Chains A and B, each alone.
Chain A
Amino acid sequence: MEYVIMFISAIFVNNIVLSQFLGVCPFLGVSKRVDTALGMSAAVTFVVALATLVTYLLQGLLVKLHIEFMQTVSFILVIAGLVQMVEIILKKISPSLYQALGIFLPLITTNCIVLGVAIQVVTNEYSFINNVGAANPNMMNLPQAVVFAVATAIGYSVALILFAGIREQLELSNVPKVFKGVPIALITAGILALAFMGFSGLV
């Protein structure tokens, strides 16, 4: 039940793009077509889950050595290394999957979602574990952290794919000249965010 609430919360109530503003750059950048949005979503979900797992364990080490202030530096290095590694492995094992996801992987290092989620799970700041009533309210345990990461990434995917669908339609409509491109996309995102606000209070 706890995990179900976590999923609902991360997908609808606290959607990472539409209510927390993380990962807006790729949200605007790769949402012109539904199939690229699908590719990006799959790549992000995979990397976020993996990166959260690794950085969660790394945080344990940092705490043990009393160098928590190195969090930002070490996390971003691990994430960058991880993305590079995934790219190399994917190229070797599954060239067809690499063809589909390859171009998105380098972009993911600078996607704030990966670092954002990694930091969120080790701090209490955005954790809604409190509401769920875990044993230690200050930190998630490992399964919770991974489920949270996957749920957040799925929330991102839902928003991205919905948005790409709308933008495909938008291409065909007659938009005032100054609004073309980013401004109309932002307004669309705003309306989508307004719709998602309807879910607030659900969890």
Chain B
Amino acid sequence: MISDGIIKNNPTFVLVLGMCPTLGTTTSAINGMGMGLATTFVLILSNIVISSVAKIIPDKVRIPSYIVIIASFVTILQLLFQAYLPSLYETLGLFIPLIVVNCIVLGRAEAFANKHSVCDSALDGIGTGLGFTIALTVLGCVRELLGSGSFFGLKLIEGDGMLAFILAPGAFIALAYLMVIFRKVTGKKA
């Protein structure tokens, strides 16, 4: 079940969801990983809560209710980041409150958590979250290596590197090639 979220239904490479944080926060491997883990945190907790209250919520107002639950966890996360990881909070900036509108979180709530048990939903959250974290970390590694010649902040190549990979165009192009490699390796079609 966990590997399902990592390979078969990888949120980034297969489902192409949550593109904004994927492109916006992966200027370095650490930032990508931080964003991935933050999303995983919200995903697991919101999946657990939504699956346990899904039966009580009337069908008509389920989407707004899910959004409120997700937004509450994002607020908790925001406060935690401000208290313990202020520097990462600064770097990720706007993208932390934007986890609320990350289609992955609401997508899993709607497609999985409201039909399955609490335990299954938690596992699904872990799987999807890990898939997302891995994708972001890999993309972050590639961009950091090409853009500034370092790996997790460790300088490997002297000089400045290709600045375009830190900036917007490189993000799109690096993600495109990673997606192609992923498709080749797993033999999946679009």
Q: Please give the residue numbers on chain A whose beta carbons come within 8 Å of chain B beta carbons, in ascending order.
A: 18-25, 27-28, 69-73, 76-77, 80-81, 109-112, 114-116, 119-120, 125-126, 178-184, 186-187, 189-191, 193-194, 196-197
In contact, B20 and A193 (Cβ under 8 angstroms): no
Binds A, one of B68-76, B120-128, B144-152: B68-76
In contact, B67 and A80 (Cβ under 8 angstroms): yes
- Give 7 nearest A-B pairs by CB, closest first: A190-B172, A21-B24, A186-B176, A181-B190, A24-B19, A190-B173, A194-B169
| Residues on A with beta carbons closer than 8 Å to the beta carbon of B170 | 190
Say yes or no for B168: interface residue by CB 8 A criterion. yes
Give the number of residue pairs across the A-B interface with Cβ within 8 Å.
Answer: 122
Interface bin, chain B: 35 or more
Q: Name 23 interchain pairs, CB-CB below 8 A, sorted by A.
A: A21-B23, A22-B20, A22-B24, A25-B16, A25-B19, A71-B97, A72-B71, A72-B75, A73-B71, A76-B67, A76-B71, A77-B68, A111-B101, A112-B98, A116-B94, A125-B94, A182-B176, A182-B179, A183-B180, A186-B176, A187-B176, A189-B172, A190-B172
Please, how many angstroms separate the alpha-carbon atoms of A125 and B89 in the complex?
A: 12
In contact, A182 and B190 (Cβ under 8 angstroms): yes
B86-118 interface (Cβ within 8 A of A): 93-94, 97-98, 100-103, 106
| Residues on B with beta carbons closer than 8 Å to the beta carbon of A69 | 75, 78-79
In contact, A183 and B179 (Cβ under 8 angstroms): yes
In contact, B97 and A24 (Cβ under 8 angstroms): no
Instruction: Determine the residue in chain B with the shortest Cβ distance to A185.
Output: B176
Say yes or no for B155: interface residue by CB 8 A criterion. no
Q: Please give the residue numbers on chain B whose beta carbons come within 8 Å of chain A beta carbons, in ascending order.
A: 16-20, 23-24, 63-64, 67-68, 71-72, 74-75, 78-79, 93-94, 97-98, 100-103, 106, 164, 167-173, 175-177, 179-180, 183-184, 190
Prevailing SS type, chain A contact patch: helix
| Residues on B with beta carbons closer than 8 Å to the beta carbon of A73 | 68, 71-72, 75
| B125 nearest CB across to chain A (Å) | 18
Please, how many angstroms separate the alpha-carbon atoms of A195 and B167 in the complex?
A: 12
Partner of A119, one of B97, B102, B168: B97
**Contact A190 B19, CB 8 Å, known A20-B24, A72-B97, A73-B68:** no
In contact, A194 and B164 (Cβ under 8 angstroms): yes
Please, how many angstroms separate the alpha-carbon atoms of A181 and B63 in the complex?
A: 29
**Contact A120 B169, CB 8 Å, known A186-B179, A187-B176:** no
| Residues on A with beta carbons closer than 8 Å to the beta carbon of B67 | 76-77, 80, 109
| Residues on B with beta carbons closer than 8 Å to the beta carbon of A77 | 64, 67-68, 71
| Residues on B with beta carbons closer than 8 Å to the beta carbon of A27 | 19
